[in-house]
A and B are shown apart, each in its own frame.
Chain A
Amino acid sequence: MIMERVGRLKCLSLIGCVVACLGLPATSVAQWKAKDTEWPSYAADLAGTRYRALDQINAANFNDLEIAWRIKTDNFGNRPEYKLEGTPLMVNGVLYATAGSRRAAIAVDAATGELLWVHGEHEGARGGAAPRQLSGRGLAYWSDGKEERILYVTPGYQLICLDAKTGVRVTGFGNKGAIDLKQDDDQEILPDLTSGEIGIQSAPVVAKNTIIIGAAFREGMTPKSMRNNKGYVRGFDVRTGKRLWIFHTIPKKGELGYDTWLNGSAEYTGNTGVWSQVTVDEELGLVYLPVESPTNDFYGGHRKGNNLFGETLVCVDLRTGQRKWHFQLVHHPLWDMDISAAPILADITVDGKAVKAVALPSKQGFLYVFDRVTGKPVWPIEEKQVEAGTVPGEWYSPTQPIPTRPPAYSRNGVLESDLIDFTPELHERGKAIASKYHLGPVFTPPTESKVDWPLGTLTVGTASGGTNWPGGSYDPETHTVYAFACTACAEPIGLVRAPKTVSDMNYIAGTAGEEVTILRGPGENAGADSPMPPKKRSAGGGYVALNVDGLPLLKPPYGTISAINLDKGEIVWQIAHGETPDVVRNHAALKGMNIPRTGQETYNIGTLVTKTLVIAGDGQITTTSEHPRGAMLRAYDKKSGKEVGAVYMPAPQSGSPMTYMMDGKQYIVVAVSAGAYSGEYIAFSLPASE
């Protein structure tokens, strides 16, 4: 363990001294502090809104923003990181974040960026074997008014409790400030505590003194086995670290849902974790768990049945973890749709009636909306017949639930009409590429990959489409959800028979004519404790590039932000988000054509909502006549979607932006990284004076 106290700004003490010297009454302090607006949870609040009612930064001055401070994350680990996905917290004038290849917890002065303390855990082989490495997405803050604590989960799946003032472990919590999350999990993590596959990269949540922790695994397209560890969710006492409850995302024998796993497959199937953010209604005492796919992402022949609670929104009791209601978004999951985004709590008015709702953006471009007390859909979600597949040994659900309202806000199937159409010639070439695949609407099943036909099912709105882990945001004033979606993240899903030396599953993801290999996931084996990678063998042919001379196979828009009103279940506006990529803007075949902004193919854009603006950065680097090589942080009028300002960033947004008000000044902090630019948190604010 490394730990260093760099310093600590005693904000309140300092303010107290100054006020005492000036002879101001104590109430002045309270009033002054009340003007500060904090961001105490990963998504601003436990409702998952990513909203703050601030308007110092607005349409009139967004272009004047300048960098207040910045902090590179290179030295928070033994190698730089190029995938910084964190959203910091701000409480009491201190900004807390995870950072670097060590996934260090850091505290910095929220006004200046000065490093106050840093805490990292050297986990050795356990950290090196972790399925989800690098800096993760953030941490949690808790206080009872006296003590302040920071909680985060290491790559090696330990829950660490720190004193927020010093960064030192709180020894009274768990085992000297840590809980080994691989233990006391109602299962034996196999093969052992060091290399047993389980971890998490999202931020913990603390609600009413209960910490809630989910689980994540390596990418699930090419698992080595149908057997894996299970991703149960647990609640822990924030004071002691004692386990309070557990929810079995794959039911144990005798529990509801066990019979949706035919032939006893609930016993050995794994994954099915909650790797995205958890949302809590403290008033109702309810927790909303977005559960991911079971083993494996694209083939379910070893887990026949609907597979509860795979790809299911589950509501549990905050005090006990007992299930209150659930709704399965995808029966017998086969598309890696997961539930990728945090549920959003929204108090709305539908047909004149107040509804306490929960809204769920998704990869498949549906915004699912439920009464969060009862679990009943606010608008009907109909079971629709879907195509049955032909993969030997697979089991198919004859129907899938499809919302009647709001309409899909992102493309979720590929037909010929979705292909590139800048010119008839480019469209024909796009059709030639697409003809190698099976096409269809949402829930078109994966196919066995064959050299003659099809190579697979060409999908969008699956593994990397729609809204991914950054989730959406919500404006409680206008009852509007804002969500970025990748509308052109095409995913060919083909299945190949797995050699027994590679996997014990009948099928894993692959392409006919290519070597069958196990893929590792983002950040796996990338962290500071990671060992040597295994050797691979040579490959054959069969690969088809999903582009036409570098142009995306699907037509624009490539990425959008949608505003969806929850009172009416309607899309209010939808815009292409992100500068047109250089490869499109400068393409010889498109010379002289007037192409509206296309947005960008990227899946990691999160939005921030303020009193007047929706704010999000570009996910790709561009160079235009208006800005040098870099990416823009953009502001849109939240009522119309019209862009009202943009400020330059040296690299794309890689973690969702947050905002806070401190000492009368509003800041926006965003994580950037990609390509040659290593991770950096940048804080923007308005100039003190012109």
Chain B
Amino acid sequence: MMDRWLPRWGAAVLHPYVICFVVVMVARAQEGASTSRSVWDGVYTEEQAKRGEEMYRKECASCHGDTLVGGGGAAPLTGGTFLSNWNGLTVGDLFDRIRKTMPQGALGKLTKQQDADVLAYLLSFNKFPVGKTELQKQVEFLKEIRFEATKPVAK
């Protein structure tokens, strides 16, 4: 079995189309690393934030509060501590944290789409501008959107 597969795999690696694909992917990865978009570029829609608000009220508000300020020491989702926790990371990092740990006590209850909607609501609540396309639900794509606490000064 191994004898048969090895030459085929080697041939595939060297195929011109494969080389071309790899070159394109590397280029896109490098582009991703520079993450050209930020939360100030209108990365969610109003409709999505509304869906997210509904879900937030059902699943998140009992701990984080109706006003997102947290409950006692429960993590605030607005204000200085929230902004400092995520400033310099990406929306994907925040999405990842939500996916890994929320809702507390019911991990995995929400779908990726619902989590993306909640995330849109958090951005909306924190006055990041609304846009024309929805936040996607793939963490890899969300990791290309920078979380910047302060609005970039126009150059």
Contacts and interface: CB of A to CB of B under 8 A. Distances in A.
Contacts of A511: 67
B57 A675 contact: no
B84 A522 contact: no
A583 B153 CA distance: 13
A128 B58 CA distance: 20
Residue of B63, B80, B101 contacting most chain A CB atoms (<10 Å): B80
Given A531-B105, A588-B153, A545 B75 contact: no
Interface in B44-88: 54, 57-59, 61-63, 65-67, 71-75, 78-81, 83-88
A404 interface: no
A219 B71 contact: yes
B113 interface: no
A325 to B, nearest CB: 31
Given A547-B79, A621-B88, A675-B86, A588 B151 contact: yes
Given A582-B150, A583-B149, A534 B100 contact: no
A517 B106 CA distance: 20
B47 to A, nearest CB: 17
A603 B70 CA distance: 13
Nearest to A630: B88
A221 B69 CA distance: 14
B97 A583 contact: no
A410 interface: no
Residue of A83, A547, A583 contacting most chain B CB atoms (<10 Å): A583
Interface string A528-558: 0011111111110001011100101000001
Contacts of B122: none
A588 B93 CA distance: 26
Nearest to B100: A80
B139 interface: no
Given A530-B104, A591-B153, A519 B96 contact: no
Interface residues of A, number: 59
Contact of A219 (B72, B79, B86, B103): B72
Residue of A514, A525, A603, A622 contacting most chain B CB atoms (<10 Å): A525
A517 B79 contact: no
A573 to B, nearest CB: 25
Contacts of B88: 582, 621, 623, 629
A365 to B, nearest CB: 19
A522 B71 contact: yes
A238 to B, nearest CB: 30
Nearest to B54: A538
A508 interface: no
Contacts of A612: none
Contacts of B65: 519
A368 to B, nearest CB: 23
Nearest to B96: A676
Contacts of B78: 545
Interface string A253-280: 0000000000000000000000000000
A7 interface: no
A219 B74 CA distance: 10
A82 B106 CA distance: 17
Given A539-B61, A582-B150, A676-B94, A620 B73 contact: no
B34 to A, nearest CB: 16
A242 interface: no
Contacts of B80: 547, 550, 552, 558, 581, 583, 600-601, 620
A75 to B, nearest CB: 13
B107 interface: yes
B109 interface: yes
Contacts of B59: 533, 535-536
A526 interface: yes
Interface of A is mostly: loop
Contacts of B61: 517, 536, 539
B69 to A, nearest CB: 8
A522 B96 CA distance: 21
A629 B90 CA distance: 13
A543 B71 CA distance: 15
Contacts of A530: 104-105
Contacts of B63: 519-520, 524-525, 533
Interface in A338-367: none
Contacts of A597: none
A338 to B, nearest CB: 11
Given A581-B80, A581-B84, A536 B62 contact: yes
A533 B71 contact: no
A535 B26 CA distance: 45
A433 interface: no
Contact of A79 (B83, B100, B109, B151): B100
A514 B66 contact: yes
A603 B83 CA distance: 16
Contacts of B89: 629, 675-676
Contacts of B71: 219, 221, 519-522
Given A463-B72, A582-B149, A533 B97 contact: no
A674 B74 contact: no
A199 interface: no
Interface string A610-637: 0000000000111100000100000000
A20 B101 CA distance: 52
A518 interface: yes
A586 interface: yes
Nearest to A538: B57
A224 to B, nearest CB: 12
B87 A582 contact: yes
A676 B85 contact: yes
A582 B148 CA distance: 10
Given A543-B66, A621-B87, A675-B97, A521 B72 contact: yes
A539 B66 contact: yes
26 contacts: A79-B100, A79-B107, A80-B100, A80-B101, A82-B101, A128-B105, A464-B72, A514-B66, A514-B67, A515-B66, A519-B63, A519-B65, A520-B62, A521-B74, A533-B104, A533-B105, A536-B57, A539-B66, A581-B83, A581-B84, A582-B83, A582-B149, A588-B151, A620-B85, A675-B85, A676-B96
Given A519-B62, A620-B80, 14 more contacts: A83-B75, A519-B65, A519-B72, A520-B71, A520-B74, A522-B73, A530-B104, A535-B59, A538-B57, A543-B66, A546-B79, A547-B79, A547-B80, A600-B84
Interface pairs A-B: 5 shortest CB-CB: A675-B85, A522-B73, A530-B105, A519-B71, A620-B84
